[in-house]
Chain A
């Protein structure tokens, strides 16, 4: 536990990647395999259940600190992190020898001297499901043994919210160093999540190990947003263009008797998409496809909102399977005949892919499907993302301009001679997205942020005009530079009308330019519309609330034609 706490603070204490990797390397080289496996799970954001209710923790902390409950809430609103708030509020632990002398604390109940694995089992797992009095006894004993910075980590572990600011890539790099293998190899071994126990961790570090796990995906190759002009990318013939589908990235692994469907977050999503898994059984074994999950009925794209009703489910009811049928649109092949193809140029991979998945996806938004085609098992579920052969950048630009009408997000541009890399490598794959929709909206409520933005009001609720009043239409985290966030925070504090916990209602004085990917009718939202992926582009200090947009403007975008598509 102490070793892990040390790692946590070393990672927290630096912004330099080299130092983070060094901290991870030191930890993994020294920790016993069982602890290391647990730590890896925590670092990868492995979800664990809450062992004890946070409401109870707050009550007990208030009593231990001798302060009223409302003051704990004030502190939480200011600090922005419950684990940290409680850790700071609790009285300092008594000096170790005093505790021993009093004999009141049995040896090491907090498990600080124990390894992480043991500590999780004895204190974290040991709390779950116990009655309140027993939980309280344990928690208070642990509090007496831990210093504030140890308490923070322990609180995060028992409340199931231990997130550490370190990317998969850095973890992979550190483990690669420890194992003496290439970082790409380690990234692949890590893909697909949990290494399990001590034995799993030992296998992970074995320099000679092969990725024996039949379900293991490859690390995803990621595209970057295109900032310059597409024409600057060189001859159009050296590039392949496709639609940028508005769905969920996924990897379909077919090996042995198994099919595994992995999300971009490397979570197994087989249960949420049973029809795709069933269809994939027809693929030859030793095949891995990269592609996009889409909600589509025949040729009609049902949109991202429909798809999100399917994702994240453990079990999909029959009715939902019929209401929101899904397809997998393949755009790359990573493994064929059990051979890793990632080193081949895209053009060669494409040929193999087309040989395997022949039916192109022609779906678009609002394509007429009379009466709604019944869902039957013979509808092809595995489709090919078609290649858009436009012949010139100008022609591609025209296709891109029609994207929103079609229900896609723009174009993907992939260099035909590029291999399939690991992570985000600029230069070979570009997202050429359509320009977002925009509206000027007025700041109505502000809420203090968390983590890096703790204590600063950086989450804004913005509104537009409707019948002489401002109605909230979007909640957006500030995309502003830090200096502007500080300034807005100052204005928020100075113009607060009401406080509801961490949320402040402000006088409507500030206008922000809001960008979003689309507008959908929504019964759940008071305004009757919901905007997709809203974010703040800039602070319009040159504008005042009367200049802001209206609900009618937003409704007009429901069937939006992007400005550049207008003749």
Chain B
């Protein structure tokens, strides 16, 4: 087993195709695949059976024949992939067998129902993390380390400049900003992904400061969270055809793509803050001219990634998305057999990826404009892959080389 890594590029360069017939999971043009058990993990094409780590758009695509997910994430996944296909759910830790391959799901701490997928056969165990974080989150079960031989990890924030502060400290910062705005009669607008971060934030702020208002796409997920038994504070909806909302006391939670839209006009004078791990960087904060940036991520920070790798006990690590080249190189420096893996997962989008000028309320049926973006990007990717037979690298092939993921995943 060698180290297959390169300096970016989209798989157009010739690289040695690794031959590892014993690998439990391989990378096909549809995603991570277990041929013995005949299932995919987080496929990006329609396949017959998809084991899904979580419901974000870059991990859960509609149109598969059958889904398997962790029980707490069942309703969220249903609302994302629609009603057409059966979804099987298992409790965390419960084992299913596919042609002798054991599959179980374990908490990943990313969003409600997010799971690491443990795949085991013939004495060899793989764990695919999907996205994960180690910090406490009142809206989902905490990450649990799972021992394995091969650890397939994300690295969205896989550079040592990314270190999160304790969640309580960040929540206190957000509360202080909200209070200050309220006292000045300005509505606070907090931009966060509709699925996961929006609910986490709603559950973390101090609801005694003022009313909380949710954007339509946030409320769709709030409903799914509540129906799954997650306790959230009271959150108001924006009724259709509203012209004016709130009196400058409210906290509005909305997806990032409303930043450049007329929708914010509903609230009069506002202070707009972005909640994202990328807000660590001054350049990113300034680029979009947000009034504030709060460093909140549902992904592991750099120490978190290292701790997870260590906690798995794995000797071999495959890095799927994020700062794959640097993170894999660091792991090799530390004596692990680590390589990049060219998946199409995107992690947390840097804020400018939000489509400017889109008015999400103008989209029919409350569809996330962001989902449409991801789908477009996906279609473009698929076109490229079709045109280039070299692009469907196997496990250990050339990584996508995207230092900073730019597609909107959620």
The answer to whether A493 and B401 have CB atoms under 8 Å apart is yes
Check A13/B401 contact, CB under 8 A, given A84-B282, A499-B7. no
The answer to whether B284 and A85 have CB atoms under 8 Å apart is no
Tell me whether A454 is interfacial, beta carbon within 8 Å: yes
Tell me whether A71 is interfacial, beta carbon within 8 Å: yes
Contact residue among B160, B291, B352 (Cβ-Cβ distance under 8 Å from A482)? B352
Say what secondary structure dominates the interface of chain A. Answer: helix
Check A75/B159 contact, CB under 8 A, given A68-B330, A493-B402. yes
The answer to whether A455 and B353 have CB atoms under 8 Å apart is no
The answer to whether A454 and B289 have CB atoms under 8 Å apart is no
Cβ < 8 Å to B, chain A residues 66-98: 67-68, 70-71, 74-75, 78-81, 84-85, 88-89
Tell me whether A486 is interfacial, beta carbon within 8 Å: yes
Tell me whether A504 is interfacial, beta carbon within 8 Å: yes
Of B7, B159, B289, B323, most buried by chain A (CB within 10 Å of CB) is: B159
Tell me whether B383 is interfacial, beta carbon within 8 Å: no
Tell me whether A317 is interfacial, beta carbon within 8 Å: no
The answer to whether B283 and A454 have CB atoms under 8 Å apart is yes
Within 8 Å CB of B400, what residues of A?
A: 494
The answer to whether B161 and A13 have CB atoms under 8 Å apart is no
Cβ < 8 Å to A, chain B residues 152-166: 159-163
The answer to whether B160 and A71 have CB atoms under 8 Å apart is yes
Contact residue among B281, B286, B352, B356 (Cβ-Cβ distance under 8 Å from A79)? B281
Check A71/B330 contact, CB under 8 A, given A81-B283, A455-B404. yes
Contact residue among B12, B159, B282, B287 (Cβ-Cβ distance under 8 Å from A78)? B159
**Per-position 1/0 for A413-431, Cβ under 8 A of B:** 0000000000000000000
Within 8 Å CB of B330, what residues of A?
A: 67-68, 71
Tell me whether A370 is interfacial, beta carbon within 8 Å: no
The answer to whether B8 and A89 have CB atoms under 8 Å apart is no
The answer to whether B280 and A496 have CB atoms under 8 Å apart is no
**Contacts across chains A and B counted by CB atoms under 8 Å:** 99
Tell me whether A452 is interfacial, beta carbon within 8 Å: yes
Within 8 Å CB of B333, what residues of A?
A: 68
Check A12/B282 contact, CB under 8 A, given A453-B287, A486-B352, A486-B353. yes
Tell me whether B326 is interfacial, beta carbon within 8 Å: yes
Tell me whether A490 is interfacial, beta carbon within 8 Å: yes
Cβ < 8 Å to A, chain B residues 60-93: none
Closest to B286 in A: A452
Within 8 Å CB of A452, what residues of B?
A: 283, 286-287
- Give Cα A71–Cα B328 distance, bound, in whole angstroms: 11
Within 8 Å CB of B323, what residues of A?
A: 74, 78
Closest to A499 in B: B7
Tell me whether B292 is interfacial, beta carbon within 8 Å: yes
- Give Cα A8–Cα B12 distance, bound, in whole angstroms: 46
- Give Cα A452–Cα B162 distance, bound, in whole angstroms: 18
Within 8 Å CB of B282, what residues of A?
A: 12, 81, 84, 152, 454
Tell me whether B382 is interfacial, beta carbon within 8 Å: no
The answer to whether A79 and B7 have CB atoms under 8 Å apart is no
- Give Cα A251–Cα B138 distance, bound, in whole angstroms: 64
- With both chains docked as a complex, state the minimum distance between the C-beta of B41 and any C-beta of chain A, in angstroms: 24
**Per-position 1/0 for A89-126, Cβ under 8 A of B:** 10000000000000000000000000000000000000
Within 8 Å CB of A140, what residues of B?
A: none
Cβ < 8 Å to B, chain A residues 380-438: none
The answer to whether B8 and A499 have CB atoms under 8 Å apart is yes
- Give Cα A78–Cα B280 distance, bound, in whole angstroms: 12
The answer to whether A490 and B161 have CB atoms under 8 Å apart is no
The answer to whether A84 and B281 have CB atoms under 8 Å apart is yes
Within 8 Å CB of A71, what residues of B?
A: 159-160, 326, 330
The answer to whether B161 and A88 have CB atoms under 8 Å apart is yes
Within 8 Å CB of A65, what residues of B?
A: 160
Check A489/B406 contact, CB under 8 A, given A68-B333, A71-B160, A452-B287. yes
Closest to A492 in B: B8
Tell me whether B9 is interfacial, beta carbon within 8 Å: yes
Tell me whether B337 is interfacial, beta carbon within 8 Å: no
- Give Cα A530–Cα B31 distance, bound, in whole angstroms: 49
- Give Cα A493–Cα B161 distance, bound, in whole angstroms: 21
- Give Cα A455–Cα B291 distance, bound, in whole angstroms: 20
- With both chains docked as a complex, state the minimum distance between the C-beta of B248 and any C-beta of chain A, in angstroms: 17
Check A497/B9 contact, CB under 8 A, given A451-B286, A490-B406. yes
The answer to whether B281 and A496 have CB atoms under 8 Å apart is no
The answer to whether B160 and A496 have CB atoms under 8 Å apart is no
The answer to whether B403 and A493 have CB atoms under 8 Å apart is yes
Within 8 Å CB of A80, what residues of B?
A: 283
Within 8 Å CB of B10, what residues of A?
A: 494-495
The answer to whether A504 and B8 have CB atoms under 8 Å apart is yes
Closest to B11 in A: A494
Closest to A92 in B: B163
Check A79/B353 contact, CB under 8 A, given A68-B330, A85-B161. no
The answer to whether B7 and A498 have CB atoms under 8 Å apart is yes
Contact residue among B9, B160, B284 (Cβ-Cβ distance under 8 Å from A455)? B284
Check A79/B8 contact, CB under 8 A, given A12-B282, A74-B326, A455-B404. no
Of A14, A80, A456, most buried by chain B (CB within 10 Å of CB) is: A456
The answer to whether A13 and B403 have CB atoms under 8 Å apart is no
Cβ < 8 Å to A, chain B residues 324-363: 326, 329-330, 333, 350, 352-353, 356
The answer to whether B9 and A79 have CB atoms under 8 Å apart is no
- With both chains docked as a complex, state the minimum distance between the C-beta of A88 and any C-beta of chain B, in angstroms: 4
- Give Cα A152–Cα B160 distance, bound, in whole angstroms: 16
Within 8 Å CB of B12, what residues of A?
A: 495, 507
The answer to whether B7 and A496 have CB atoms under 8 Å apart is yes
**Per-position 1/0 for A138-157, Cβ under 8 A of B:** 00000000000000100000
The answer to whether B283 and A79 have CB atoms under 8 Å apart is yes
**Per-position 1/0 for A447-465, Cβ under 8 A of B:** 0001111111000000000
Tell me whether A59 is interfacial, beta carbon within 8 Å: no
- Give Cα A450–Cα B13 distance, bound, in whole angstroms: 30
The answer to whether B161 and A15 have CB atoms under 8 Å apart is no
- With both chains docked as a complex, state the minimum distance between the C-beta of B74 and any C-beta of chain A, in angstroms: 34
- With both chains docked as a complex, state the minimum distance between the C-beta of A309 and any C-beta of chain B, in angstroms: 35
- Give Cα A14–Cα B8 distance, bound, in whole angstroms: 35
The answer to whether A496 and B8 have CB atoms under 8 Å apart is yes
The answer to whether A486 and B161 have CB atoms under 8 Å apart is no
Within 8 Å CB of B356, what residues of A?
A: 483
- With both chains docked as a complex, state the minimum distance between the C-beta of A131 and any C-beta of chain B, in angstroms: 29
Of B280, B287, B330, most buried by chain A (CB within 10 Å of CB) is: B287
Cβ < 8 Å to B, chain A residues 489-529: 489-490, 493-499, 504, 507
Contact residue among A68, A454, A490 (Cβ-Cβ distance under 8 Å from B284)? A454
Closest to A149 in B: B282
- With both chains docked as a complex, state the minimum distance between the C-beta of B234 and any C-beta of chain A, in angstroms: 31
Within 8 Å CB of B291, what residues of A?
A: 13-14
- Give Cα A65–Cα B330 distance, bound, in whole angstroms: 14
- With both chains docked as a complex, state the minimum distance between the C-beta of A11 and any C-beta of chain B, in angstroms: 11
The answer to whether A454 and B281 have CB atoms under 8 Å apart is yes
17 A–B contacts, CB within 8 A, in A order:
A65-B160, A67-B160, A68-B330, A75-B159, A81-B282, A451-B283, A451-B286, A454-B282, A456-B287, A482-B352, A486-B352, A486-B406, A489-B406, A490-B406, A495-B9, A496-B7, A498-B7
The 10 closest A-B pairs by CB, nearest first: A454-B283, A496-B8, A88-B161, A499-B7, A74-B326, A494-B10, A15-B289, A75-B161, A486-B352, A490-B406
B: residues with CB less than 8 A from A are 7-10, 12-13, 159-163, 280-284, 286-287, 289, 291-292, 323, 326, 329-330, 333, 350, 352-353, 356, 400-404, 406
Q: A89-B160, A483-B356 are in contact. List 12 more A-B contacts (CB 8 A).
A: A12-B286, A15-B286, A75-B160, A78-B159, A78-B161, A88-B161, A451-B286, A452-B286, A486-B352, A486-B406, A494-B9, A495-B10
A: residues with CB less than 8 A from B are 12-15, 65, 67-68, 70-71, 74-75, 78-81, 84-85, 88-89, 152, 450-456, 482-483, 486, 489-490, 493-499, 504, 507
